[in-house]
Amino acid sequence: MNEPAQPPSADDRASAPFGFATARPATRAASRELRYADLGATVYPDSVPPGLADELPALYGSLFSTLDWFLAQDRRPPTSACILEEPRHVILFRRKGSTVDVLNKAFACRRDDAERICRALFRAMPGVRRLHLDIMFPPSELTFPTRIRERLDRMVIELPPTTDAYYRSLGKSTRKNIRWGQNHLRRAFPDVTTETITAGGRSQELVERLVEWKIERYRRKGLITYWEIDPTMLGRTVSLVRRCGEVRITSIAGEEIALDLFFRVGETVYAYESANDPRYDDYSLGFLTFYWLICDAIEAGARRVDALDGTEWSKTPLGAHAVRTTRLSVFPNRLFRLLSLGEALWLMRERYRRKRHAIGQRLRRSGRGKALADFLTRLRRRRMSL
């Protein structure tokens, strides 16, 4: 759900009094505070007040709107802030030239409040021609000119108070699959155990093992994982897990055979990534460990499990439904939207690239399709090298 990572610059790595990097050294101008009473907004164009980022988890309960996510996954430390009152919102952002990137993502914000945020930022920085903003309502409700950059559907499970109530809420065939899978696994391996740990110093080891399992399973199917497509993903995930992640480990006779990475933010548990040793593929471990993770979340008092995007067919039977986030470019007027044709062309190329990858993945599921996909890949690389 995040944009391509950008490594921090030397300025980004400069220390700051509020505990994370900033893109500018502290100066007299860094304390600017612009208040707009008609909007109930305050904008800090050059700084983030101390302690402001600590409010994010309680305000939004979104992993993607936490300082840990900005620093570890996005690798884009916030440099500026906007505060709304009644209701309170804390918006952290970065400015590069005439573009402002709002770092908060997948966060609950009403249309009226999103309008106030846009107006405050455009008013505080007259040179800004475009905002990058995530919303969770229809883009047509905004009065500003917009361009859709991406639509993301996360699979979310709303949780009842007890595990018994959750089990009863599932379909008959799903309950049957759970019973059969658990009995099949425990008959074969009576000593199967699970434990949850704070990853900490084992983060690198556990994430690397998970990725190895994932790549091995995908290669058996002739597919390519996103871990291979984006080489920076491993390091970013290790950093995030080390900061705030937990790992649910399934073991047989003391040997770790399945890993589930997850995060707790407010009342939500984020099921981030999972994999199992391919030697145990016949035991439906992916399905079972996900179900166990949901039950653990209920017992810990969580109100929902966010299973992120993808693999809808495997998450819907366990009660997941799609929650849409739309990534927008927001413009102060139609002229600036018209003048941003370069972004429109880039988005067209990016959508084509993603569609091409999806078609390639489908082709690779069959022998002849894999041969064709490999031939087209070699042909494209040869053309790029000329």
Reported as a single tens digit per residue, the pLDDT across 153-195 is 999 999 999 999 999 999 999 999 999 999 999 999 999 999 9
In the predicted model, is pLDDT for residue 228 greater than 60?
yes
The pLDDT score that the predictor gives to residue 261 is 97
Q: Nearest Cα to 153, choosing from 310, 341, 318? A: 310
pLDDT in tens, 7-52: 333 333 333 333 343 333 334 445 799 999 999 999 999 999 999 9
> Which pLDDT belongs to residue 374?
62
Helix and strand numbers (H, E) in the chain are 13, 13
**Cβ atoms within 10 Å of 74's Cβ, excluding its own:** 21
Name all contacts of 211-219 with Cβ < 8 Å and 24+ positions apart.
Answer: 211/275, 213/259, 213/275, 213/276, 213/277, 213/278, 214/275, 216/278, 217/275, 217/278, 217/281
pLDDT in tens, 241-282: 999 999 999 999 999 999 999 999 999 999 999 999 999 999
Q: What number does CATH give the domain 28-152+324-353?
A: 3.40.630
Alpha-carbon distance 73 to 247, whole Å? 18
**What residues contact residue 86 under an 8 Å CB cut-off, 6+ apart?**
40
Is the per-residue pLDDT at 386 higher than 90?
A: no
- Domain 160-302 = CATH 3.40.630.30: yes
Please say whether the dihedral angle defined by the alpha carbons of residues 209, 215, 221 and 225, taken in this order, is positive or negative: positive
Q: Decide if pLDDT at 218 tops 90.
A: no
- Could you tell me the pTM of the whole model? 0.82
Can you tell me which residue has the tokens 């979104």?
Answer: 62
CA-wise closest residue to 154 among 327, 371, 363, 373: 327
H/E stretch holding 367 reads helix 367-385
Antiparallel, parallel or unpaired: β 146-158 and 192-198: unpaired
Confidence of residue 349 (pLDDT cuts 50, 70, 90): confident
Tens digits of residue pLDDT in 284-302: 999 999 999 999 999 999 9
Range list for CATH 3.40.630.30 in the chain: 160-302
